[in-house]
Homo-oligomer: A and B are copies of this chain.
């Protein structure tokens, strides 16, 4: 009844051919369009009913090669500039294959994967200078990491009854800037605090949280009988890459006894580059840090991380297991189970791809790739500034250029839809894939450089395409 191959030799032959397909796909990632729409005929074939009889591996691989592989998101291509997507490396393929072969469950127990995860967590606690009591957990991404941070902060604020009695009508309030990520709102919703309990503090002209407004909001809430319990600062906002003033916010949190969380989804890893590291000053003061490894560390999706200055808060919020999972002897041993540090019990071996990537390439090369992305953003912005058609919409704080085509042949009230259409046109033509955002209510072209494969030449191709679109506007 085994589901393993009937003929292992046949299987291995197909497997090696599949590996060649995958490696060629990555090796040639710069060839072809960044993105292509899925044709209707492919959509129809993908919508097949549940197969009762097996089709065999050969047919599956054939379908994969024709129906799936050509229609990826495009983020491994050097001219993918949309949102904040990591580019991956071929080593990530080998790591994910290895994790699947071992099929370790990293919820707990005494086995190697748990130790690899601990090593990886320690590397990043060290990087951010979180001190001797620090710990953390790999999670799916920063949405989950932020949610767990808010949960820890809430439970600390409520105290001993947090887990048994819940929020129990307490008027807890938290703070982030209007540029803070929407997943923080979602976290407040899911945790039963309600999004109204997350105050959105205004930003300055550099899109950094206005810390005077923050303090005023805290005082107002306190005077109104509410309980301020946390601030979620941002290290690298999604719209423009801005860093909040972490040391000042840390000091405010200390004086008002609030949990100081930093959402560093992609920005936190700037700490890997000596030239960018000053941006992250104050990160070492955080009570918790959320960030992603599938972004600027280029491990394949998914790998996010929640780090905490004092791991006892993590255990207090999430620890505890039923009889059948109690720490015992032998395989049931292990001194700290990841299941006690977060929401998940069944957990994959996410740490392996991080371990492969960091060991193969080293922190320094990974940091240099990040710095190069930021250099290209500045380089592009400098060129764009001399271009009559292109208007920069935000200072380049990191790796993101927010700009707007303003062709004089159009009325300014047409520029919003023109810019949205321009981005769609670039994507559909396959030349490049920036995304859009709104800054000051205006639709912008958002160029986010996260890909280690991106070169000056790629930026020039984008600039030429943008200029050309603007010149032809009518």
Contacts and interface: CB of A to CB of B under 8 A. Distances in A.
Nearest to A192: B192
Given A1-B369, A97-B97, A360-B57, A168 B194 contact: yes
A38 B94 CA distance: 23
Nearest to A112: B71
A16 interface: yes
Counting chain A residues whose Cβ lies within 8 A of the other chain, the interface size class is 35 or more
B97 A343 contact: no
A50 B126 contact: yes
Given A73-B103, A96-B100, A359-B63, A332 B23 contact: no
Nearest to A54: B362
A356 B461 CA distance: 37
Interface in A1-38: 1-5, 8, 11-12, 15-16, 18-20, 22-23, 25-27, 35, 37-38
A277 interface: no
Contacts of A470: none
B87 A93 contact: no
Closest 7 pairs between A and B when the two form their complex, measured CB to CB: A192-B192, A169-B169, A166-B194, A71-B112, A329-B424, A141-B346, A54-B362
A267 interface: no
Interface stretch (A206-214, A224-232, A319-327, A387-395): A319-327
Given A55-B360, A322-B182, A437-B324, A294 B346 contact: yes
A73 B20 contact: no
B73 A111 contact: yes
Interface string A294-320: 110010111010000000000000101
Given A15-B23, A35-B331, A346-B143, A113 B359 contact: no
A420 B72 contact: no
